[in-house]
Structure 1
Amino acid sequence: MDRTALLELAVGLARDAGGAIEAVRRAGFAIERKGDASPVTAADRLAEGIITEGLLKALPDWLVVGEEACAESGMPAPEETFWLVDPLDGTREFAAGRDEYVTCIALVVARRPVLGVIGVPSKGDIYAGIVGQGAWLESGGARRPIAARRPPGEGLHLLDSRSHRDDAATEGFCRGLRIAATTRMGSALKFAWLAEGRADVMPRLNSGIMEWDTAAGQALLEAAGGRVVDAAGAPLAYGKPGYRNPGFVAWGAAP
Structure 2
Amino acid sequence: MDLASLLDRTHTIAKQAGEAIMAVYARGFSVEEKDDKSPLTEADKDAHNVIVAGLAALPEDIPVLSEEDAEGFAGVDANGRYWLVDPLDGTKEFIKRNGEFTVNIALIENGRPVLGVVVAPALEVSYLAAEGVGAFKVLWGNETDAERQPIRVAGKPADGTPWRVVGSRSHPSPDLAEWLATLGQHDMVPMGSSLKLCLVAEGAADVYPRLGPTCLWDTGAAQAVVEQAGGRVETLAGQPLSYANPLEKLNPYFVVWGR
- Structure 2 length-normalised TM: 0.92
Taking the TM superposition and a 5 Å limit, the aligned residue runs for 1:50-69 are 50-59=50-59, 61-69=61-69
The alignment partner of 1:22 has SS state of helix
Q: Distance between the aligned counterparts of 1:192 and 1:125, measured in 2?
A: 11
The alignment partner of 1:115 has SS state of strand
Structure 1 runs of 4+ aligned residues shifted over 6 Å read none
Match for residue 152 of structure 2 among 133, 141, 147: 147
Asked if 1:180 is matched to 2:186, the reply is yes
Partner of 2:206: 200
The alignment partner of 1:242 has SS state of coil
Partner of 2:8: 8
Shift of residue 78 of structure 1?
3.7
Partner of 1:77: 75
Partner of 1:130: 130
Q: Distance between the aligned counterparts of 1:184 and 1:46, measured in 2?
A: 28
Is the alpha carbon distance of 1:158 and 1:11 closer, same or farther for their aligned partners in structure 2, counting shifts above 3 Å? Answer: same
Partner of 2:89: 89
Report if aligned partners of 2:63, 2:75 keep a CA contact under 8 Å in 1: no
The alignment partner of 1:29 has SS state of coil
RMSD value, Cα:
1.4
Q: Distance between the aligned counterparts of 2:163 and 2:222, measured in 1?
A: 20
Match for residue 167 of structure 2 among 112, 137, 160: 160
Superposed CA offset, 1:122-158 (max 9, x none): 0221110113432111112142111111122212100
The alignment partner of 1:237 has SS state of coil
Residue identity in the other structure for 1:11: H
Asked if 1:220 is matched to 2:225, the reply is yes
Partner of 2:32: 32
Partner of 1:45: 45
The alignment partner of 1:238 has SS state of coil
Report sequence identity in percent.
41
Report if aligned partners of 2:215, 2:251 keep a CA contact under 8 Å in 1: yes
The alignment partner of 1:243 has SS state of coil
Partner of 2:214: 209
Match for residue 196 of structure 2 among 190, 208, 232: 190
Partner of 1:251: 257
Report if aligned partners of 1:21, 1:46 keep a CA contact under 8 Å in 2: yes
Shift of residue 74 of structure 1?
5.3
Superposed CA offset, 1:77-130 (max 9, x none): 344100000011000000011111011000000000001010011022111011
Report if aligned partners of 1:131, 1:220 keep a CA contact under 8 Å in 2: no
Residue identity in the other structure for 1:248: F
Q: Distance between the aligned counterparts of 1:56 and 1:247, measured in 2?
A: 33
Q: Distance between the aligned counterparts of 1:197 and 1:181, measured in 2?
A: 15
Aligned residues, how many? Answer: 249
Q: Distance between the aligned counterparts of 2:41 and 2:186, measured in 1?
A: 37
Residue identity in the other structure for 1:230: T
Superposed CA offset, 1:39-65 (max 9, x none): 011111111111111101114521011
Report if aligned partners of 2:90, 2:192 keep a CA contact under 8 Å in 1: yes
